[in-house]
Structure 1
Amino acid sequence: MQRLRIVGAALAGITLLGAATACGSDEKAGSEEKVVVDVTVEDGAITPKGDRVEVSTGQPIDLVVTSDVAGSLHMHSDPEQEFAYEVGTTTIPISIDRPGVIEVESHDPPQIIVQLEVR
């Protein structure tokens, strides 16, 4: 009888260990959720105005630009990148593979829109 109890306890421990490992995997997968940054260009003004957003290296990011004029965003990354947007809503998918602070800005009007703090 004791042997069965020990085996039963061991099996229960293995089951709990498996459940804990599964939870750890789920948490890691959840950390890679897409980050959405909403950008509005209206009557010559842009929002947000320099907000800092924390992201992980390689994490998918969507810059969703809703604008009343066509224009472009400039990203100070390595290499630097420029993204055009049209009147209406444009989604610009990006990801950054190096830690640091990456500024996304407009040249017309000149303004830092968002700072992506990549960890």
Structure 2
Amino acid sequence: MQRLRMIGAALATVTLLGAVSACGSDDKASTGKTVVIDITVKDGKITPTGDRVKVGAGQPVDLVVTADRAGSLHMHSDPEQEFAYDEGTKTFPITIDRPGVIEVESHDPPQIIVQLEVR
């Protein structure tokens, strides 16, 4: 049991190098530390554009949207979720408990913004 605590403590001390911004990183998924995915909506374009980000099952994720107009994000999870935002910056905290690939997309313009690879 003590070994499991040591492993858990070691995992808890793992830090991501800076705030993860959806950049298709191949970094190993970490549990515990919040993954921050910066999403920018500007001049009719959205970034990132389909990057894959690895996260641990149950790991907190913040979708931080900075937009020059109102809109919404759609997440293909079970159940599906939609996040409406206004002009400005808004943070949507999420957690995904089941492994798989979850797409976060926009319908206007139609595009996949980020793929969360949950392990």
Is the structural similarity TM-score above 0.5? yes
Q: TM-score range by the shorter chain?
A: 0.7 to 0.9
State the AA in 2 paired with 1:32: G
Question: What CA distance in whole angstroms lies between the structure 1 residues aligned with 2:38 and 2:72?
Answer: 15
Structure 1 unaligned regions, length at least 5 = 1-17
- Per residue, is there more helix in 1 or in 2? 1
- Displacement of 1:28: 2.6
Letter in 1 for 2:49: K
Identity value in percent = 69
Deviation sequence 1:40-80 (CA, Å, 0-9, x none): 00000000000000001110000000000011000000000
Aligned to 1:78: 78
1:66 is aligned to 66
1:46 aligned onto 2:29: no
**After the TM superposition, which segments of 4 or more aligned residues of structure 1 sit over 6 Å from their partners?**
none
| Root mean square deviation of aligned Cα | 1.5
Which sections of structure 2, spanning at least 5 residues, go unmatched?
14-30
Cα offset for 1:24?
A: 2.2
Bigger radius of gyration, 1 or 2? 1
Residue in structure 2 matched with residue 12 of structure 1 by the alignment: none
Per the alignment, do residues 22 and 77 of structure 1 end up closer, same or farther by CA in structure 2, a change over 3 Å counting? closer
The CA deviation at 1:26 is 1.8
Find out whether 1:24 has 2:10 as its counterpart: no
What is the TM-score normalised by the length of structure 2? Answer: 0.79
SS in structure 2 at match of 1:33: coil
Instruction: State how many pairs are aligned.
Output: 101
TM-score by length of 1: 0.79
